[in-house]
Amino acid sequence: MKILPAVLTDSREDLEHKIRTAEVFADTVQIDVMDGLFVPSRSTSWEDLASIKTTLNLEVHLMVKSPEDYIEPFVRAGASRIVFHYEAAPDPEKIIRQIKRLGKKAGLALNPETSNQPLKKLAPLLDFALYLSVNPGFYGSPFIPEVLDKIREFKAMKISLELGIDGGIKAGNLKQIVETGVDNVCVGSAIFNQSNPGKSYLDLGKLAEDAGRPA
């Protein structure tokens, strides 16, 4: 299981600061993109990201209406993985094909209230999926534990798909998250809002490793 630092900001300077911070201890970051329409908040733009050269692998999480309009610009900005929301996509298959035509990995995000049915149907086309364990768009939102039941339900279907979870994740709930068998855990404030982000990242990784060991 992998910890992915998640960057959510509306400032180009803060975006670069968080990317430079993560370069010290991680190989991949998730960049949260918000349009003020699909979610109330706004974030930095593809232009901001494109202006920052980094060695990190970039996963872009599109919390936007009309995600198809954002894919090519963020690919140009350096994204290698793009995840969009099922709830924002009238034709998700078309968007998945668009991402894959550009040679990038395609992911589908589900809001907490969305069932597993769309994911079950679209899994053969996808590279990964992302479960939102908060209502999206707000940094530091409270964790919704019922999402873990949804992950267990999907796991029980025995469908092979890389799974991630994003939102409200801290040391106190990491053990129960690891026990669901997810592959990626996206963590924002529990890394970047700490006095020593690198140590927080490593501590979470160690905690996840310990939680994943057989009793």
Measure the CA–CA gap between 50 and 137, rounded to whole angstroms. 22
φ, ψ at 196 (rounded to 5°): -130, 85
Q: Helix, strand, or coil here: 40?
A: coil
DSSP code of residue 167: S
Contact indicator for 22, 5 with CB cutoff of 8 Å:
yes
Closest by Cα among 2, 44, 5, 1 to 193: 5
Closest by Cα among 142, 118, 140, 113 to 129: 118
For residue 27, indicate whether it is catalytic.
Answer: no
Catalytic residue among 14, 27, 32, 91: 32
Q: What share of the chain is helix, strand, coil (3-state, %, to 5)?
A: 40, 25, 35
Catalytic residue among 10, 127, 166, 203: 166
Paired with 186 in beta bridges are 4, 166
For residue 166, indicate whether it is catalytic.
Answer: yes
Task: Show which residues are catalytic.
Answer: 32, 166
